[in-house]
Amino acid sequence: MKPQKVSMDFCGVDSAKIFPGRLFVAILIALVQFQDNVAVEVNIGKKPTIEVLNGTDVILPCIFSSCMDYKDSSFWWTFQKNETERAERIIQIRLKDKRPFVTPLIADNRFILVGEIKDKNLSLLLTDADFEDTGLYTCFFKNPQEMNQEANATLRLIVVSQLIEVDNTLTVIIASVVGGVIGFLILIFIIKKLVKFIIKQVGKKKKECLVNSCANTEHGHYGSKSNLKTPPKA
């Protein structure tokens, strides 16, 4: 009779050979998930488009965030006239133990870093804006502490000769109508409460008068039967 090969359980030799492979796969999956959980972000605010009057100053906002430490990170701004042209770096910021080292990358010195890195602010100040400054400005953030993950956000700057005033007539009318309706409802509510209060007070007074009238009748006051004397008989 030939001996049969018995399969090994998890604690057997075969499982011991497979276990390192499974452990490696599990570690790899955990690293991928960890990389997905940590992230860097860049935010330029709620307005992706900024209009500025020619010859005035404007701030290009940029805020960054990171789930981990951001020391030794890199930041930079780029400019391009439109989506089809090549982007040009205008300023570079490198951190060395969270100390910023700013390097202008173009001859134009009108771009000034006004944001505080310690506040996670990378905002730029553009002084004396010109029509040629119209275009796309992108803020970049790269963090080596998070596997060199990179994030960016783009805003559009439009330099105009005259700012167009927004007509808020319709908004004012709608707000006035809504406010009037709310005020009218509040007035009705107050009148209703006042009427209920008056009715309650009048009912209370009537009840008091009725009680007093009954009390006077029982004690023989004016109007009661006890005051009516029978005339003496002859």
Q: Could you tell me if 76 and 92 are in contact, meaning their C-beta atoms sit under 8 angstroms apart?
A: yes
Q: Which pTM does this prediction carry?
A: 0.58
Phi-psi region of 8 (alpha: psi -120 to 50; beta: other; left: phi over 0): beta
Assess if residue 48 is contained within a domain. Answer: yes
Assess if residue 21 is contained within a domain. Answer: no
Residue 232 has what pLDDT?
60
Residue 15 has what pLDDT?
46
Domain span at residue 124 reads 40-160
Q: What are phi and psi of 153, to 5 degrees?
A: -145, 145
Assess if residue 22 is contained within a domain. Answer: no
Residue 183 has what pLDDT?
86
Residue 8 has what pLDDT?
41
Give me the number of domains the chain comprises: 1
Tokens 């005051």 correspond to what residue?
227
Residue 219 has what pLDDT?
55
Residue 21 has what pLDDT?
61
Q: What is the DSSP string of 173-230?
A: HHHHHHHHHHHHHHHHHHHHHHHHHHHHHHHHHHHHHHHHHHHHHHTT-TTSGGG-PP
Residue 174 has what pLDDT?
85
Residue 138 has what pLDDT?
97
Assess if residue 145 is contained within a domain. Answer: yes
CA angle 100, 105, 111 (to 5 degrees): 75
pLDDT (tens, 9 = 90+) of the chain, 234 residues, equals: 555 544 444 345 454 454 556 655 555 444 444 444 458 999 999 999 999 999 999 999 999 999 888 989 999 999 999 999 999 999 999 998 778 999 999 999 999 999 999 999 999 999 999 999 999 999 999 999 889 999 999 999 999 998 776 556 777 788 888 888 898 889 888 998 888 888 877 777 766 666 666 656 555 554 444 454 555 655
Assess if residue 35 is contained within a domain. Answer: no
Q: Supply the CATH number for residue 130's domain.
A: 2.60.40.10
Question: With the CA atoms of 66, 67, 68 and 70 taken in that order, what torsion angle do they form, in degrees rounded to the nearest 10?
Answer: 0
Is the alpha carbon torsion for 53, 54, 59, 64 positive or negative?
Answer: positive
Residue 9 has what pLDDT?
45
Residue 163 has what pLDDT?
75
Q: What is the DSSP string of 78-120?
A: EEESSTTSPPEEEEEEEEETTEEEEEE-SS-TTEEE-S-GGGT
Assess if residue 224 is contained within a domain. Answer: no
Assess if residue 102 is contained within a domain. Answer: yes
Assess if residue 73 is contained within a domain. Answer: yes
